[in-house]
Amino acid sequence: MSNDTPDPSPNGQTPDGTKKPDLPPGLADGSDDQDQGASDEETSPGTKKPDLPPGLGGENGESDAPGTKKPAGPPGAKKPAGPPSPGSDDDGDDGPTLPPGYGGDGAGEALSREDFQSDQEVRWCPGCGDYAILSTVQRLLPDLGVDKENVVFISGIGCAGRFPYYMDTYGMHGIHGRAPAIATGLKTSNPELDVWVVTGDGDALSIGGNHLIHVLRRNLDTQILLFNNEIYGLTKGQYSPTSDAGTISKSTPYGSVDRPFNPVSVALGADASFVARTMDRDPQHMKAMMRAAHDHDGTGFLEIYQNCNIFNDGAFFEFTERETKDERALFLEHGEPMTFANGTRGIRLDTLQPEVIDLEADDWSVDDCLVHDETSQELGTILGRMSWQDDDGDPIPRLDETGTQLPRPFGVIHRTERPTYAERVHQQIDTVTAEQGDGDLDALLRSGETWTIE
């Protein structure tokens, strides 16, 4: 079990050998929050995305204006930081408009981002990807139209485990790996609650792997935010179950010999009804994915690539940074052809094997591209493995020169409808009660053969 030390004391060597600046613990004072979250602020309400030909541009910030410092966020007028105005829909790129009744100004008083911020000092390392995730959640919640008192965050152990303390909602910081099981009891006990599970790659896939697969198969109506940074942060830098084979870490000075888990494939293997992937450096997309996970009736499993700038800096930069993001990230949208690199390349399926096609040359067009169908588990399985490992199980070499390398998919990889766990539990209770009548304690105690002594 990891030891839950409170203060990150970065001490130098990162896997790539670069020396990181020593940062005193407790420096994080919320300013990073703004820094990290700023790209999200840049979206003015109602910003229209430029019209793009079908398949081009996906739906997110790939069309970053050159020179923009932030890794993500569509171009738009910079807006002073502050809470979104009540009822504003600052992510009009979410797709379909919200159903009636949603939108934060429905029943009661409209809530703002501040309403979801607790008075506790956020103590993640400065520059940690967790800040962007926290900020995105706090911005999303007012839009979801749920009553604040019904929102509960449950976490395990690890850096991500501190998440509930920073939310001014109900919450429980549980024990290592067990958040899905705590959530199962809570949500089944009170299905009215809006339960979120916050976990990390070690918490969810190593010590808590069992609970993760079972909560997914049961389809508990909850959101699971898996902060994947491919390293153990809170215990100061051991390799994790998602670390690439060969990772040099505190516990693997000669390189790890473990084959890593692919969280999306694990979730699909456990018959998850909603599986999506997003990244901390694209708050727009992250917010859209969180909203989609929340809208889903069942377990909304969301893998978030999260940068640990202390122990595993840059693990996902090829997908998240401006220089390479277009080439390496494929943003999926249901019913749309799969294209990337600003629409210059696409994905087609050659039997069961996805391959990159060049849409600028004469041979292929958008019509040849694979069209995303998030309801297909088979397609989800292919997409989950895409750009993951080569035939020998080694990580796909990053950024090759040929341009034929498969990008990694982000977005909703799979979504299907099926009854949720708490729903079925309570239906069964209702059915039995309808058949047998409400329980009568005295009758129960007197059931079976009895005899009376006068």
Does 118 engage in binding with another protein (CB under 8 A)?
A: yes
Distance CA 191, CA 201 (A): 27
120 binds another protein (CB under 8 A): yes
Does 291 contact another protein by CB under 8 A? Answer: no
Gap between the Cα atoms of 398 and 364, Å rounded: 25
Distance CA 233, CA 316 (A): 16
* Using rule CB under 8 A, residue 182 touches another protein: yes
- Of 118 and 262, the one with the shorter C-beta distance to another protein is 118
**Structure letter (DSSP) for residue 395:** B
Q: Can you tell me which of 175, 234, 332, 412 binds another protein, judged by CB under 8 A?
A: 175
Length of the chain, in residues: 454
Determine which residue in the list 168, 295, 297, 368 makes contact with another protein, applying CB under 8 A: 168
Among 43, 169, 243, 309, binds another protein (CB under 8 A): 169
Give the Cα separation of 175 and 161 in Å (integer).
Answer: 9
Given a contact cutoff of 8 angstroms between Cβ atoms, the answer to whether 167 and 138 are in contact is yes
Applying CB under 8 A, the site for another protein has a residue count of 64
Crossing angle (nearest 10°) for helices 179-189 and 421-436: 40
Q: Which range binds another protein by CB under 8 A, 149-157, 234-242, 284-292, 409-417?
A: 149-157
Residue among 69 and 446 whose Cβ is closer to another protein = 446
Per-position DSSP letters for 202-267, written without gaps between them:
HIIIIITHHHHHHHHHHT-S-EEEEEE-SSBTTTTSB--TTSPTT--BTTBTT---PPPP-HHHHH
| 3 lines the binding site for another protein (CB under 8 A) | no
The amino acid occupying position 144 is L
By DSSP bridging, strand 339-340 and strand 345-350 are antiparallel
Of positions 72, 167, 231, 266, contacts another protein by CB under 8 A: 167
Taking CB under 8 A as the criterion, the residue among 181, 225, 302, 359 binding another protein is 181
| Footprint (CB under 8 A) of another protein, residues 415-454 | 425, 428-429, 432-433, 435-439, 441-442, 444-446, 448-454
Q: Which residues bind another protein (CB under 8 A)?
A: 4, 6, 117-120, 147-150, 152, 154, 157, 164-165, 167-176, 178, 181-190, 192-193, 210-211, 213-214, 425, 428-429, 432-433, 435-439, 441-442, 444-446, 448-454
